Amino acid sequence: MPLSRSSPVACLSRAARAGLLATLLALGAGMPPAAGAAAIAPIDVVPIPGGEFTYQAAGEFLDQGRPVDAPRVQGRVADGLVIMRRQVSQAEYARCVQAGTCKRLDKGFRDLDSPDLPAVGVNWADATAYAAWLSRETGQRWRLPVYAEWVRAAADRYREEGALPSDPTDPAVRWLAEYEREITRSQGRIKPAQPFGHFGVNTLGVSDMGGNVWEWTDTCFASHSVGTLPLAPRENCGVRILAGAHIAAMPDFIRDPRNGACSIGLPPSNLGFRLVREE
């Protein structure tokens, strides 16, 4: 509001008014952020090497209606991409909730706020909302990685599914092999998320890749018909690919894999995420 002639400040000398103004500016600079604002700490990132590579494709592959092993395909990552060194923490996700952008998590997860543990109990929509909020807060473009980018960033921690035995005349051969694989995976599976660094770092310096937190990617699940009757892939973006100790696919609204279906194989232990940024 403009100062009137009767204002006490207007009666001060020019030097006094200058000193008062300097004091007010100094106080203003130290004021806390407005309600709802979130201070974003520096985000530790690791460059993802650009270039071409091969990896096992994500999705379902059928030959005349019968499941077969996913083929190895060519992938490419452009230069200038970085990935968070660790997953988004519980405390970081909680700030997005406090800002009114991210949704509160389900009972059992909503009060988690540790800065040293990954955020879990999040679905694909939650992770995407967080990426949009972080992009607005930082002025940078953050997003979920596609599966090929995650594979490249995982480096030596990336693991492919081994081939399963099959017999065209006896589907039970493959079914039994799949069952045995799931039994092996299930041993000691249900464990809480561990502190950052528990699973070590890979050759790029990225932490906890392939630990007991599966990470949402932006890759849609797709069904492929191969062999003698190849067809165009049928994509379902209501189901997304998750990357972790093994590949998985999950409906995008699921927050707790123990309470929801898994489209491929045994459900993961915990659902979390980390983001990539384009330089």
**Structural contact between residues 276 and 219, judged by C-beta atoms closer than 8 angstroms:** no
**Structural contact between residues 212 and 190, judged by C-beta atoms closer than 8 angstroms:** no
Can you give the pLDDT at residue 63?
83
Of 224, 226, 214, 223, give the one whose Cα is nearest residue 254: 214
- The encoded tokens of residue 86 equal 């660790």
Task: Report pLDDT digits (tens) over 208-267.
Answer: 999 999 999 999 999 988 877 777 789 999 999 999 988 999 999 999 987 755 555 557
Of 78, 59, 85, 80, give the one whose Cα is nearest residue 70: 59
Can you give the pLDDT at residue 176?
66
Can you give the pLDDT at residue 268?
85
Q: H-helix or E-strand containing 73?
A: strand 72-77
pTM of the full structure:
0.79
Can you give the pLDDT at residue 178?
67
Task: Report pLDDT digits (tens) over 129-186.
Answer: 999 999 999 999 999 999 999 999 999 999 887 776 666 766 666 666 666 666 566 6
Task: State which amino acid sits at residue 259.
Answer: N
With 60 as the cut, is the pLDDT of residue 5 above it?
Answer: no
- The encoded tokens of residue 237 equal 């973006």
Q: Residue 244 to residues 154, 158, 274: CA-CA distances in angstroms?
A: 9, 8, 12
- The encoded tokens of residue 138 equal 């930082």
Task: State which amino acid sits at residue 157.
Answer: R
**Structural contact between residues 224 and 61, judged by C-beta atoms closer than 8 angstroms:** yes
Can you give the pLDDT at residue 251?
93
Q: Report helix, strand or coil for 179.
A: helix
